[in-house]
Structure 1
Amino acid sequence: MSNTLENLPLIKDASRRNFLKIAGVLGTATAFAGTLAACGSSSTSTTTTAASAAAVNKDLTIEAGISYSLSTGFDPMSSSGATPLAANLHIFEGLVELHPATREPYNALAASDPKKIDDLTYQVTLRDGAMFHDGTPVTTDDVVYSFTRVMDPANKALFAQFIFFLDSVTAVDAKTVEFKLKTAFAGFGPRISVVKVVPKAIASADQKAFDAKPIGTGPYKFVSAAKDDKIVFERNDAYNGPKPALAKSMTWFLLSDAAARVTAVQSGRVQAIEDVPYLDVDSLKSKVNVEAVQSFGLMFLMFNLSKAPFDKKEVRQALHYALDKETIIKTALLGNATAASSYFQPTHPSYQKAGTVYGFDADKAKSLLSGAGVSGLSLTLTTTDTAWVKDVAPLIKKNWDAIGVNTTLESLASSAVYGPDKVGGLKYDVVAAPGDPSVFGNDADILLSWFYRGATWAKNRFAWSDTAEYATVQTKMDAAIAATGDAQKALYKEIVDIIAEQVPLYPIFHRKLPSAWDSKKLSGFAPLPTTGLSFVGVGRSA
């Protein structure tokens, strides 16, 4: 996308529909940031959304419309795409799981809550009779393998950063696994949900084959998948865990085209869809249930701190103050977002208002630029080609142009944005993109760790890791994981305040995620506060 939109009517007329006609994206929907640049538990309902209590017919099939194609495989050590992550909620189990909708922890492969032996030792006992989809029993060796392969630096596992506190995992006996920690971690139980248990014999023999055809212990078995077509599941009749499948099978149609997705739920071809286009919410409400759930999922600005003048916090702050977030949200998202007043959304348990809140203040933005000795600034704003991001980008440009910053828009596929010629090589000015690490968990440490712990983002993507502020954040994050109650709350406030002041990567807003479903045909369905759909505990009632 170029910067030629500055002369179009959008700049003089903030009409949402006029803008969408100009941009050519009427009726399109969001796409997931390819690298998962992740969750509040409360929701904002757009219709009456009481779950259907109708009797479930376990011989029926659940059909769903999914927004995204398959961008990765299914191996839970490496899978990062939105669609396989959602699928894996049904195929695999951890020792502990988080309910996809409520985010409440429950024991899955664990027979009971993890037993704390001392501050640095926990033991977990496996549930009796658990079996993999191929009929082999789950052993403590499988559990140990599942964790140690994620912990092995050679595997560069996506989830290793979330279990950094683990020192070792060993089998005590045929039913018990022991975890030794490097440092005390108050949230041990919910956190180990990020590691899914896999069959050692199969996953270690041929990882590529396992990635393509996963075998887990979950309520549904994987049958087949085609990148831009569908994923097929069947019920795991041998499942003996707490969340059995309530349908004979599931077919997820991969409908990246928003119009096709909306038509599918309107026609009854599917019983639920995710990612309802904001413009279609009202028209769908007369036919099916629609609910927009407040999520952690954010749109962030990320600055290349290795490049002047973005190495100056005043410049970064100025570009945040220049944004009229409320108008952006109203115009581009039809109100389906909450302007950031902290790193966390207001519904999150760890929310505390940040010490620096970026309300719209164009004069302050100009003053900060002037004070930093910056004038005549020209920059390129690189964005992902996600439909709603493309809706937002021209409004950001309008705001920045208004304070004298000559802004060029560049819209690329996520893979290109994060590739070596852009973010991966620190060859960019500013990036605006979506991110949602809450798909991995809802606790404050996970949400902060994704962007601010380790090298992936802070060092390699926005070059903040050599700063004194980064070092302070690491120290405080380490202290917070061992703390509880008010002490932990105070530490997270200090961390958020540092990040909010420095804004190397920081949210503009947190989105609301609209889903649609037919409550006459689905029993127990609830929309998620994260990307994707879940049919855990959901059945067909007609």
Structure 2
Amino acid sequence: MIQVRLAASRRRPRRRSGRDAAILAALTAGSIALAACGSGGETTEAAEEITTLRIDVLSEPSTLDPLSLNDTPAQRVYRMVYDSLFDWNEQTTEVEPQLADALPEVSADGLTYTVPLRDDVTWHSGETFTADDVLFTFEQVRDTDNSSVWASAVSAVADVAKTDDQTVTFTLNNPYTYFPEKLAMVPIVSAAAGYQPNDNLSRDMVGTGPFSFENWQAGEQIRLVRNETYYGGAPALEAIEFHVVPEDTTRVANLRNGTSHIAPELAPALLDLVRDSGQQAEVAAGNVTRVYLYPNMQDGRPTADAEVRQAIAWAVDRKAIIDTVYDGAARSASTYLSYGSRYHVEELGDFYGDGGDTTQAQSHLDEATTAPAEPLNFVVNNLPALVDAAAIIQQSLAAAGIQVEIEPMDFGAMVPRLLDQEYDLLLTTAPVSVTAGFAPDYPAIGLHSESVPNWNRFTDPQMDELLTAAQRAPAGDESAAAWRAVQEYDLVTLGQIQLVSAQYTEGFSKDLTGYTPSNLAWLHNVPTIGTD
């Protein structure tokens, strides 16, 4: 077991970034109160009926292919169009049937899952949904030539067979405690539509979900319309429009004046401005996003040296990021298995404390065999919060003797750099709920050597063994011990360098009565807006 050495907490007054300060000044220069608001921000008029829901997002997807990518911009759209065999119930935190007609029947040895399918589902193109579509989907996911982002989720599957048009049987190579949760992750695609990776479904969608695809105006908006024949009942909303609005100033103004209805990932410092105008804003504490660094693991790169990675992990001033960037709506993070996840160990998850420990960082640099001699190329996903965080990271590393040059990039341009390993450090985010649902085994997606989304090619046989054992361990004490071992070794190897766990923040219209931001990052509750 590793020795846990917690860095001393260094509390400081909360600061706002220059970007947030400018936004606050711009928005408070004019009248904050809207005509429809009374004192205290309470509305004095009845809620307006919303038929077309406008969502102002920071960036558009790079692809709509539901088998290719699981980043938030893409899932936020395609999860409205595609269904899976199962769905997550946010109240019970259990899976429940979606395209399946009931929970799976599991054999005594835990190797066979028999899934009955609904017989009242049609594709948006008019064809009938059958077991053939399920078989086709999992064939595409399991085909290594397709490099599906969901391949690791179903790596335990040995065979998928059709019993009849309404029954599918999955046979596993080994017991897998979290297999039903994995079936809730994989979107089912149409066999009739066919599939070519990042081709026919990258700019079009044919699903079975509550909304169907209408059009995508690149750089501007994506429009979905109501599926009138949805098997779960047609949604109350007639349409959903995702508008690309990268400026927080505009997103807040649009929300305040009623132009838009939802602003995901709103800067926490701006929530009170939304509330003061009579609109609504919440911090979804259960919707946690990992803010982390990919270190380049190629031989010869300084970041391939574990001692350099340790130095970086100790050097970063996490508290400054929490206070300045997230206005307190975050906490320090050290392990891939994040705070709030099942089997997360708090003393390990807070191993580096608030960070900013230059003494510890320099001691690890002294042990490094490939300490950085030149400034590191530091690629940053060009989102306002991450650019602000990158500046803090740059200052922190400089204090420890590591120089970096920041290169902000839009997500679409950043992905090829990540895949081609053209960086030293890369800063991005990943909502835990996107990859995890309610299962704790998402670290295998990023750390197992055979996982497709192990984007920085981290390879460690011992980590592979620990992850596999944890995925197979029965729920309870055995799983707790297995996942503790994963977290302990994660702190030794640092395949990814975790920085903070940020809580999801959202502004939304006062007219969305009964609406609650989801703990799942793809606006899971939006299709229910306007329904009883």
TM-score range, shorter chain: 0.7 to 0.9
Give, in whole Å, the separation in 1 of the partners of 2:117 and 2:320. Answer: 52
Give, in whole Å, the separation in 1 of the partners of 2:123 and 2:25. Answer: 42
- Mapped contact 1:166–1:182 kept (Cα < 8 A): yes
Pair 1:263 & 2:256 matched: no
Give, in whole Å, the separation in 2 of the partners of 1:292 and 1:206. Answer: 36
- Mapped contact 1:146–1:197 kept (Cα < 8 A): yes
Give, in whole Å, the separation in 1 of the partners of 2:16 and 2:254. Answer: 23
Distance change (3 Å), C-alpha of 1:437 and 1:404: same
| 1:138 positional shift | 1.1
**Structure 1 residues 228-237 or 403-412, which shifts more?**
403-412
Residue matched to 1:410:
407
Q: Which amino acid aligns with 2:319?
A: E
Give, in whole Å, the separation in 2 of the partners of 1:407 and 1:498. Answer: 27
Residue matched to 2:360:
364
Distance change (3 Å), C-alpha of 1:26 and 1:213: same
> Equivalent of 2:383, from 381, 386, 391?
386
Give, in whole Å, the separation in 2 of the partners of 1:373 and 1:153. Answer: 36
CA deviation string 1:118-169 (max 9, x = no partner):
4211111112312222332211111111211211112222211211111111
1:106 partner SS: strand
| 1:416 positional shift | 4.3
| 1:60 positional shift | 2.9
2:398 partner SS: helix
Give, in whole Å, the separation in 2 of the partners of 1:313 and 1:458. Answer: 21
Which residues of 2 match residues 76-91 of structure 1 at below 5 A?
Answer: 76-91=66-81
Q: Which amino acid aligns with 2:19?
A: L
- Mapped contact 1:122–1:180 kept (Cα < 8 A): yes
**Structure 1 residues 441-450 or 291-300, which shifts more?**
441-450
Distance change (3 Å), C-alpha of 1:236 and 1:501: same
Give, in whole Å, the separation in 2 of the partners of 1:393 and 1:430. Answer: 11
Give, in whole Å, the separation in 1 of the partners of 2:197 and 2:367. Answer: 58
- Mapped contact 1:140–1:176 kept (Cα < 8 A): yes
Which residues of 2 match residues 209-220 of structure 1 at below 5 A?
Answer: 209-220=200-211
- Mapped contact 1:62–1:540 kept (Cα < 8 A): no
1:71 partner SS: coil
Give, in whole Å, the separation in 2 of the partners of 1:340 and 1:483. Answer: 25
Give, in whole Å, the separation in 1 of the partners of 2:317 and 2:107. Answer: 52
CA deviation string 1:354-408 (max 9, x = no partner):
5481133222222232344787854323322221111012212222222333343
1:194 partner SS: coil
| 1:459 positional shift | 7.1
Distance change (3 Å), C-alpha of 1:317 and 1:263: same
- Mapped contact 1:296–1:438 kept (Cα < 8 A): yes
Give, in whole Å, the separation in 2 of the partners of 1:111 and 1:18. Answer: 50
| 1:289 positional shift | 1.2
Give, in whole Å, the separation in 2 of the partners of 1:178 and 1:374. Answer: 51
| 1:302 positional shift | 2.6
Give, in whole Å, the separation in 2 of the partners of 1:309 and 1:210. Answer: 39
Residue matched to 1:285:
275
Give, in whole Å, the separation in 2 of the partners of 1:207 and 1:321. Answer: 39
Distance change (3 Å), C-alpha of 1:281 and 1:27: farther
| 1:456 positional shift | 6.2
Residue matched to 2:222:
231
Distance change (3 Å), C-alpha of 1:278 and 1:197: same
Which structure carries more relative contact order (alpha carbon 8 Å, separation 6+)? 1
Give, in whole Å, the separation in 1 of the partners of 2:481 and 2:509. Answer: 43
Give, in whole Å, the separation in 1 of the partners of 2:320 and 2:141. Answer: 43
> Equivalent of 1:512, from 503, 511, 527?
503
Which residues of 2 match residues 133-282 of structure 1 at below 5 A?
Answer: 133-204=124-195, 208-241=199-232, 244-282=234-272
1:202 partner SS: coil
Give, in whole Å, the separation in 2 of the partners of 1:55 and 1:172. Answer: 50
1:133 partner SS: coil
- Mapped contact 1:272–1:516 kept (Cα < 8 A): yes
| 1:225 positional shift | 2.1
In the alignment of these two chains, the number of paired residues is: 494
Give, in whole Å, the separation in 1 of the partners of 2:150 and 2:325. Answer: 33
Q: Which amino acid aligns with 2:251?
A: R
> Equivalent of 1:301, from 285, 293, 296?
293
| 1:202 positional shift | 1.9
**Structure 1 residues 394-403 or 95-104, which shifts more?**
95-104
CA deviation string 1:480-523 (max 9, x = no partner):
2221211111111101111112213121111122101124x213
| 1:300 positional shift | 1.3
Residue matched to 1:20:
19
Superposed CA RMSD in Å reads 3.3
Give, in whole Å, the separation in 1 of the partners of 2:453 and 2:228. Answer: 45
> Equivalent of 1:528, from 515, 518, 525?
518
Q: Which amino acid aligns with 1:320?
A: A
Residue matched to 1:434:
429
Distance change (3 Å), C-alpha of 1:151 and 1:267: same
Distance change (3 Å), C-alpha of 1:438 and 1:269: same
Pair 1:448 & 2:440 matched: no
Give, in whole Å, the separation in 1 of the partners of 2:189 and 2:301. Answer: 47
Give, in whole Å, the separation in 2 of the partners of 1:489 and 1:394. Answer: 37
Pair 1:399 & 2:396 matched: yes
- Mapped contact 1:382–1:428 kept (Cα < 8 A): yes
> Equivalent of 1:122, from 93, 113, 126?
113
- Mapped contact 1:230–1:252 kept (Cα < 8 A): yes
Q: Which amino acid aligns with 1:383?
A: V
Distance change (3 Å), C-alpha of 1:122 and 1:367: same
Pair 1:347 & 2:343 matched: no
2:366 partner SS: helix
1:439 partner SS: helix
| 1:303 positional shift | 2.2
Give, in whole Å, the separation in 2 of the partners of 1:453 and 1:27. Answer: 46
Q: TM-score, normalised by structure 1?
A: 0.82
| 1:21 positional shift | 8.2
2:133 partner SS: helix
Distance change (3 Å), C-alpha of 1:246 and 1:184: same
| 1:116 positional shift | 0.6
Give, in whole Å, the separation in 1 of the partners of 2:473 and 2:422. Answer: 39
- Mapped contact 1:27–1:280 kept (Cα < 8 A): no
Q: Which amino acid aligns with 2:429?
A: P
| 1:260 positional shift | 2.3
Which segments of 5 or more consecutive residues in structure 1 lack a partner in the other structure? 1-12, 29-47, 49-53
Which segments of 5 or more consecutive residues in structure 2 lack a partner in the other structure? 1-11, 27-39, 41-45
Give, in whole Å, the separation in 1 of the partners of 2:85 and 2:14. Answer: 50
